[in-house]
Structure 1
Amino acid sequence: MQDRTTLVVGIDVGGTKTHLRARAGDDTVADLVRTSRGWQPHDPQGAANWLTDLIHEALPEDARPHAVAVGGRDCETPRQSELIRQALGQRLGALCRVVNDAELLVPALGLAEGVGLVAGTGAVAVGHTAAGELVQVGGWGAVLGDEGSSAGLVREAIRAVYAAHDRAEAPDELTRLLLAALGVPEVPALGAALEAADDVAAGWGRHASAVFEAAAAGSRAAQDVIAAGGRALTGLVVRLAERGATVDDVVVAGGTVLNQPVLYGALTDALASSLPGTRVHPLQVPPVAGAVALALALAPATA
């Protein structure tokens, strides 16, 4: 049997995929990536059961972790995270911590404090005040928010196309590419195509490549949408600063912003203008590394 005092588990539950990593001392004993389908963070018992099943899938049958840390998408309040933590601790008999997945970014980079900013399928930023209080902004979903995310960019691009259509402007490259991406013949049908998506965030976000392609082809509308996305992401960090969070370092993650230099550049330009001196760090390691760091911090003797 694995000596449980050395075994820690970190889990990053993202919008699309979940990454689990288990360590015993310096050895990685499990590294599993699977879909996040079934993750229901607003049901604490169901979330704890889902996480427990994942851990049992990843670890040998006789392995019992001493400490588990989870960064979960849509864990939006300390109360919600605490309820999941309690339920998971009861299921596993282990030390547990549950946070929003954006809270994994700063420890993943090895920093003690700073802002975690995610712009992938969704967009959210988290930080802490000098007193250690968690502050989270954004992350309100594709319908009402998540500006600067893949889903938010598609939503705003279609709004721009609608506005151009209302002005009787000739279709530009953004219009043509969005029509092709959503498989509809004319502009008025774009909204219905969005509404038909089974998964709003992922269903909308998968068309973001059309926005970036249109911008590269010279579409001013697409370029404006991307620039506005960068400013919106910066606005999340500014809001954290206004609420007393430490924003000297901003750790950025998410496939949308890291894989699209034009959006990353719009973000860094806007941050340099709004918060001069802020250091921006693109995360180059999997966020699950932050979950492992948090698990190790629960029980330093296991490190």
Structure 2
Amino acid sequence: MSLLVGVDVGGTKTHIKVVMGGRVLADHVGPSTGWSAVPVDRAANWLAERVRRVVMLAVGDIAMSPDTIVVGAHGCEDQPHCDELAGALAARLETDCVVVNDAQLLVPAAGLDDGIGLVAGTGAVAVGRRASDGTWMTAGGWGWVLGDDGSASSLVREAARAAVRLADVGRPDGPLEAHLLASFEVPDLVRLAHRMSWDGGVETWGEHAHAVFAAADDGSAAALTVLGAGAAGLARVVRALVERGAAGSSVVAAGGVVTSQPRYHAALEAALAEQVPGLRLVLLGCPPVDGAVELAREHESSPSQGRSVPA
């Protein structure tokens, strides 16, 4: 029986699952602290260290290596990058490795043959296959400076921008300001701006997204506007793939801001209906790492058809 490893490296957490036959030998979730897909050598070292540790805990034999490892990696956005990282990781672990974008795990995790995967977590990216030739494509995933609209980080960024703009014109949004200050544990907007700019960095913003939803529940017009714009941004990257010929009639979404927030799920559903009518929104009901395990099984069955990330 083959020993397979699936890895889902997100912006916030990393999930590693080790399976043999139909049995799960290890199911480990840890922080993604220190993860960056570049430079490749450092990324490969980061992954190899964690995979070795979990496999060792699973099988208790340092000499036993996995037959196939599939990694869905946040920050791997093109085929040459993924191929390079897969090669570097394979050299360190001395086994067959495939690297894909983390959003590419969603459709197989949902048990579907085709469709568009949409991750709305720390960042936001969509992936899909072109119907005409099977080529993988991405949209979004440009990072918080240039994009990631609709992600947890961007919701907090846009909510804070709305709060300070409203304060500037003397029309503060009480609920939004109050929830943001409480979540960041600061007394005023000046300290909020300082905290977000200099203390912790953007990778910590996503954990405060709950404040935006709480403000919306308390009637904040600004928070509702931010959530509507975020959902429209997510629908926009899906529409971009559809217009480029992506296959499938479903959008499989993962990421806490969509799966754990009914208000945002409903807003995304409405935005998709407006921008790309006819697509069905599916909320992923299992961890995306299950898609990595499924891809590892497929790769074992036909290794010559190993998957790689979209160009």
Give the TM-score taking structure 2 as reference length. 0.90
Task: Give the CA deviation at 1:123.
Answer: 1.1
* C-alpha distance in structure 2 between counterparts of 1:31 and 1:183, whole Å: 34
* C-alpha distance in structure 2 between counterparts of 1:57 and 1:188, whole Å: 44
Task: Give the CA deviation at 1:188.
Answer: 4.1
Q: Secondary structure at the match of 2:47?
A: helix
Alignment of 1:67-78 (within 5 A): 67-78=68-79
* Divergent runs of 4+, >4 A: none
Query: 1:171 and 1:283, CA in 2 relative to 1: closer, same or farther beyond 3 A?
Result: closer
Q: Does 1:30 align with 2:26?
A: yes
1:135 maps to 137
Q: Secondary structure at the match of 1:299?
A: helix
1:47 maps to 43
Task: Give the CA deviation at 1:220.
Answer: 0.9
Asked if the contact 2:163–2:172 (Cα under 8 Å) also holds between the matched residues in 1, the reply is no
1:256 maps to 257
Task: Give the CA deviation at 1:181.
Answer: 2.5
Q: Secondary structure at the match of 2:112?
A: coil
Code of the aligned partner of 2:298: A
Q: Secondary structure at the match of 2:228?
A: helix
Q: More deviation in 271-280 or 260-269?
A: 271-280
Q: Does 1:124 align with 2:125?
A: yes
1:275 maps to 276
Gaps of 5+ in 2: 304-311
Alignment of 1:1-303 (within 5 A): 6-59=2-55, 60=60, 61-130=62-131, 131-201=133-203, 203-300=204-301
Q: More deviation in 90-99 or 62-71?
A: 90-99
Asked if the contact 2:8–2:292 (Cα under 8 Å) also holds between the matched residues in 1, the reply is yes
Q: Deviations over 1:47-105 (max 9, x none)?
A: 22222222221123232111110001111211111101111222223221101111100
Gaps of 5+ in 1: none
Asked if the contact 2:173–2:220 (Cα under 8 Å) also holds between the matched residues in 1, the reply is no
Q: Deviations over 1:90-127 (max 9, x none)?
A: 22232211011111000111111111101112111111
Query: 1:22 and 1:225, CA in 2 relative to 1: closer, same or farther beyond 3 A?
Result: same
Task: Give the CA deviation at 1:197.
Answer: 3.0
Q: More deviation in 232-241 or 188-197?
A: 188-197
Task: Give the CA deviation at 1:259.
Answer: 0.9
Query: 1:289 and 1:157, CA in 2 relative to 1: closer, same or farther beyond 3 A?
Result: same
Task: Give the CA deviation at 1:250.
Answer: 0.5
Task: Give the CA deviation at 1:12.
Answer: 0.7
Identical-pair percentage? 45
Asked if the contact 1:121–1:256 (Cα under 8 Å) also holds between the matched residues in 2, the reply is no
Task: Give the CA deviation at 1:162.
Answer: 2.3
* C-alpha distance in structure 2 between counterparts of 1:274 and 1:291, whole Å: 30
Code of the aligned partner of 1:17: K
Asked if the contact 1:117–1:123 (Cα under 8 Å) also holds between the matched residues in 2, the reply is yes
* C-alpha distance in structure 1 between counterparts of 2:241 and 2:72, whole Å: 20
Code of the aligned partner of 1:193: R
Q: Deviations over 1:138-168 (max 9, x none)?
A: 1222233211111101111112112212322
* C-alpha distance in structure 1 between counterparts of 2:149 and 2:120, whole Å: 9
Give the TM-score taking structure 1 as reference length. 0.92
Asked if the contact 1:20–1:32 (Cα under 8 Å) also holds between the matched residues in 2, the reply is yes
Task: Give the CA deviation at 1:10.
Answer: 0.7
Asked if the contact 2:4–2:293 (Cα under 8 Å) also holds between the matched residues in 1, the reply is yes
* C-alpha distance in structure 2 between counterparts of 1:183 and 1:40, whole Å: 28
